[in-house]
Amino acid sequence: MGTKMSKAGKAKKGAAASGKSGGGSGGNDNIDIKLDDKYTSKAGGGKLGIDDFELLKVLGKGSFGKVMLVKKKGGDDTLFAMKTLRKAALIKRNQLLHTATERNILQNIQHPFLVNLIYAFQSDDKLYMVLDYMGGGELFFWLKKHRRFSEARAQLMGAEITLALGALHAGNIIYRDLKPENILVDLEGHIRLTDFGLSKDGITGPGAEGGTKTFCGTPEYLAPEILDNKGHGKSVDWWSFGTLLYEMLCGLPPFYDTNIQKMYHKILCAPLRFPSYLSDDAKEILRGLLQRKVEERLGSGPGGTDEIKAANFFKTLDFDRVMAKEYTPEFKPPAGRNDTDATNFDLEFTTEKAIDSVVTTHMSETAKQKSNFTDFTYQNEGAMGS
C-alpha cells in the first residue's frame, strides 16, 4: 500500500512515523494483553482512546493501518504521529509478536535519535501508538528529491544513525530494518529511527553465536549472512548501515537491481565499486561496513560501535557533541505555511481525510482473545498534561 518509486524506479513503501517493514516469520503470536486502567481520558473520564485526539492529516499508510498527524484534545498544541494497526491484519500475517516487541522497545529505550513512544492504547479492533512527530518527513523523501547527499550531510546523519544503532545494540537489540523510509528527519535536520517491528531483543553477539536465523528485512539492505541463513547478530545492522551510507553518497544501494534474485546474488558475490568522486575516507568506511565476512566487518569486533565512531570518515566530529545535537545540519527541511500542513510528506497521503477508519472485517472470539494485549497501554511520564 502506498508504493513510492524513486527516480531510479526503485519501489518503496510509503510511511511516516513508522512505515511498513519487510517480511519475516511471526512465530508464536498468541499473546494476552490487557488495558491498563491507570491512564484515564480527560475527555470522558475513562481509559485513553481515539476520541481524546484531534485527527489532522494522514501521513502514511501500510499493510496493517496508517499513520496520522494528531493533537491531544485538552492539552497544549504539541503534534504527534499516531500509528494505527488493525488487529485482524496483524493476526492474519502473524505479526502480533513483532508488534509487542516494537511496543516494548519504544517504551524501554529512550534516546535522542530514536523516536519516542508517548501513549499506547487499544480498542477491540485496533492498536494505537502515539509517537513523536518529525516534521521533516522521511529520509527517503529527501533522497528521492535530492538524489544524493554531500559527504558533510551524510557524515552527520551517519553519525547520528551510528549512535542510534549503538544504543539498541547496548540493549542487546538488533534493528534489522535500516532503510531511508525508517529514518525520520526533524525540522532542524536531525534524524530519528522509527519502526521497530522487525527488531529482535536478547541478541548478545555480532554473528550467529547468540543470534537468530529469521529471514527478514528489506531486500536492498539485507546482509549476506541473512541471505545465507547462517544465523545473524548485531553485525547485520552495520551491513545495512553501509548500504544506506552508500545510498546517501551515491544515490542507490551498492548492489541494487530491479530483479530481486539478481540483487541477492550481487549482495553475495559482486565486487564493491565506487564512483570517482567519493573521498578516500568514504571508501574506507564503506569497505569496512560492507565486508561479507562477519568477523572482518567494521563494528563486529570487541569495540562494537566504537569501531564505527573511530573511522576516518567521522574524524572531524566529536560524538559527544553529535549526541547533544550541537552540530548544525547542512540541510533543514522547510517548515511549511503552518505546523500542521505536513509539507514534507507525500501528497498521496496528506490529501486524504484523516479519520479513524471503521473496521469492516470483524474477528472471531478466538482471534479477539489472541489480540488482547496485556499492559499495552502506556503514557510517557514526560507527556503528562500534554
Residues in the chain: 386
Residue type, 92: K
Q: How far apart are CA 144 and CA 135, in angstroms?
A: 17
Annotated binding site for ATP, which residues? 83
Count of CB atoms within 10 A of residue 339's CB? 16
Tell me the CA end-to-end span of the chain in Å, nearest whole number. 32
Dihedral angle sign, alpha carbons of residues 129, 132, 133, 139: negative
Catalytic residues: 177
Name the phi and psi angles at 144, rounded to 5: -65, -40
Q: How many CB atoms lie within 10 A of CB 160?
A: 25
